[in-house]
Amino acid sequence: MKKFGKTLLKTFAIALVFGIVAASAFGGVTYFLGEQFDITPFVIREEAYADAPGGEAEETADPGETEAETENASPQEEAGQIEEAAGSVAVADPAGKSDADLVEEVMPAIVAITTMSTVEYSTIWGERGTYDSESAGSGIIMLQDEDNLYIVTNAHVAEGANTLVVQFIDGSDAEGALRGSDTTRDLAVIEVPLAEIDPETLSAIRVAPVGDSTALRVGDPAIAIGNALGYGQSITKGVISALDREVTATDSQTGISIMNHCIQTDAAINPGNSGGALLNAKGEVVGINEIKYTSTDVEGIGYAIPMATAMPVIEQIIAREVVPEERAAFLGIQGIEITQEDAQRYQMPLGIYLAQVGEGTAAEQAGLQSGDIMTAIDGNDVSTQEALSRTMSYYAAGDTAEVTYMRADNGKYIEHRTKVTFGSRND
């Protein structure tokens, strides 16, 4: 029993000593951790945002002083300091406008465009006929003057249309007319007389803000707006994937080749988006949506024409004025329009076939010959009689322009360009 009592006493003494040592060690470790890893994230935030305008940290001259105050603060005071610190962070790093805010601001400048055109067809039995075809596209309100509203879109949306109906943000419609186009750049301007637009609609729409497309960087956010599939305006979002991409495409309807140095984006560019806006992070139009790369091997590649490229063309088209008949330009040709069916049957390009070139006329002096097929004047499509007449109406006698034409060479048509100085019909 004596041995057992001694053993029990020793065990109790050892346990007591161990408890005292353990408690001391735990307190020391706790104190050490508390000193080295001060769990006060709001203090760190205050220091990090010490220069924030309007933040509480601006009043904290000495971070150490803040820590001392925190150590003695009550839980309620600490909670208040945390809220103050969070407030200073929010002020210092503002989120800015949301995508919804940006879209809401620019949407009044975007329109839906519905076109009606006539398509020719022939059957295997040789029967020929026509039918009306409806297409959808998008446009951007770019300018408003005393008489007209000017809407920018792609040339492949507007060219060849019998009617152009523009739908505004409030759902109202107005019929527009093609002011002019540059098919080589795939740009066109539609004008709508202000007299044809309701006053309520005029107060609802706006001119689009234009941004600097040369300032874009790969990785910048991008938003595409357009009349996708003709269902009405919708948006897609992505990034700027690449810049200055050389893109060449052929219009399946006109056969005209289009070449542009484009912005590449993974924001979806769907049918009907053509002519719509590509926005930057500020909600400014930096590109005109043009084309989508379609392939089973590729996803998320769409292209837009940079505004730095588009604006000079747009301004030139809008600035054009119809020349009075007495000063009108004269080319001196007799031409026949090559339809799509004729082009397919005879393996010829679309355009105006020069059946005759007048002797001594501007056309002959420029080197044009019978059998040539004229396709463009200064980049403006003249593949139809209507397009040729409209384009020629902007030139006066004595003006100089570049004529694009195709000439047969060993069974193939080769593209050529020549400068022509227009004559006068009176001459």
DSSP calls for 327-339:
GBEE--EEEEEE-
Query: Which tokens sit at 248?
Result: 């060449």
269-310 per-position pLDDT tens digit: 888 888 899 999 999 999 999 877 766 676 788 899 999 999
> pLDDT grade, residue 11 (50/70/90)?
low
Residue 140 Cα distances to 27, 190, 233, angstroms: 71, 10, 12
Lowest mean pLDDT among 68-82, 257-271, 384-398: 68-82
36-90 per-position pLDDT tens digit: 333 223 233 333 333 333 333 333 344 444 443 444 444 444 444 434 433 333 3
Asked if 186 is an active-site residue, the reply is yes
- C-alpha 60/C-alpha 65 separation (Å) is 8
Cβ-contact 223, 267 below 8 angstroms:
yes
Among candidate residues 276, 263, 265, 270, the one with its CA nearest the CA of residue 109: 276
94-108 per-position pLDDT tens digit: 346 788 888 889 999
pLDDT of 312 higher than 60: yes
Percent of the chain with pLDDT over 70: 75
As a residue count, the chain comes to: 427
Rg (CA), the chain: 36
Alpha carbon 346 to chain centroid distance? 38
- The top-scoring range by mean pLDDT among 86-95, 171-180, 225-234 is 171-180
Count CB neighbours of 62 within 10 A.
8
- C-alpha 334/C-alpha 29 separation (Å) is 101
In angstroms, the first-to-last Cα distance of the chain is 144
- C-alpha 266/C-alpha 293 separation (Å) is 10
Query: Which tokens sit at 38?
Result: 């001060």
Where does 325-424 sit in CATH, by number?
2.30.42.10
Asked if 274 is an active-site residue, the reply is yes
Tell me which long-range contacts 345-348 makes (C-beta under 8 A, separation of at least 24).
348/373, 348/413
Cβ-contact 275, 154 below 8 angstroms:
yes
User: How high is the pLDDT of residue 132?
Assistant: 80
Among candidate residues 407, 101, 383, the one with its CA nearest the CA of residue 251: 383
Residue 213 Cα distances to 8, 143, 262, 280, 382, angstroms: 88, 19, 10, 9, 30
Q: What is the mean pLDDT of residues 228-256?
A: 79
Q: What is the mean pLDDT of residues 371-391?
A: 88
Output 69 or 400, whichever has higher pLDDT.
400
Evaluate whether 106-204 and 213-309 have a shared fold: yes
> pLDDT grade, residue 253 (50/70/90)?
low
User: How high is the pLDDT of residue 9?
Assistant: 53
Residue 301 Cα distances to 31, 72, 248, 268, angstroms: 59, 59, 14, 8
- C-alpha 383/C-alpha 102 separation (Å) is 40
Catalytic residue among 274, 372, 381, 383: 274
pLDDT of 7 higher than 80: no
**Coil/strand/helix, residue 195:** helix
Q: What is the mean pLDDT of residues 174-181?
A: 88
**Coil/strand/helix, residue 153:** strand
> pLDDT grade, residue 384 (50/70/90)?
confident
Output 354 or 54, whichever has higher pLDDT.
354
Catalytic residue among 88, 138, 156, 241: 156
Q: What is the mean pLDDT of residues 387-411?
A: 91
Phi then psi for residue 161, to 5 deg, are -85, 140
CATH T-level assignment (fold) for domain 213-309 = Thrombin, subunit H (2.40.10)
Residue 296 Cα distances to 126, 272, 274, 379, angstroms: 36, 21, 21, 33
Catalytic residue among 88, 135, 182, 186: 186
- CA angle at residue 410 from 409 to 412, to 5 degrees? 65
> pLDDT grade, residue 12 (50/70/90)?
low
Phi then psi for residue 195, to 5 deg, are -65, -20
Query: Which tokens sit at 50?
Result: 């010490």
CATH T-level assignment (fold) for domain 106-204 = Thrombin, subunit H (2.40.10)
User: How high is the pLDDT of residue 83?
Assistant: 41
User: How high is the pLDDT of residue 95?
Assistant: 46
Cβ-contact 46, 60 below 8 angstroms:
yes
- C-alpha 309/C-alpha 60 separation (Å) is 51
> pLDDT grade, residue 15 (50/70/90)?
low
Cβ-contact 129, 244 below 8 angstroms:
no
Query: Which tokens sit at 135?
Result: 């297409």
**Domain limits, the chain:** 2-92, 106-204, 213-309, 325-424
- C-alpha 178/C-alpha 169 separation (Å) is 21
Asked if 297 is an active-site residue, the reply is no
User: How high is the pLDDT of residue 143?
Assistant: 93
**Coil/strand/helix, residue 377:** strand
As separate numbers, helices (DSSP H) first and strands (DSSP E) second, the chain gives: 11, 20
Output 203 or 68, whichever has higher pLDDT.
203
The residue assigned the tokens 């002096």 is: 365
What are the b/e assignments for 97-109, b being 16+ CB within 10 Å?
Answer: eeeeebbebbbbb
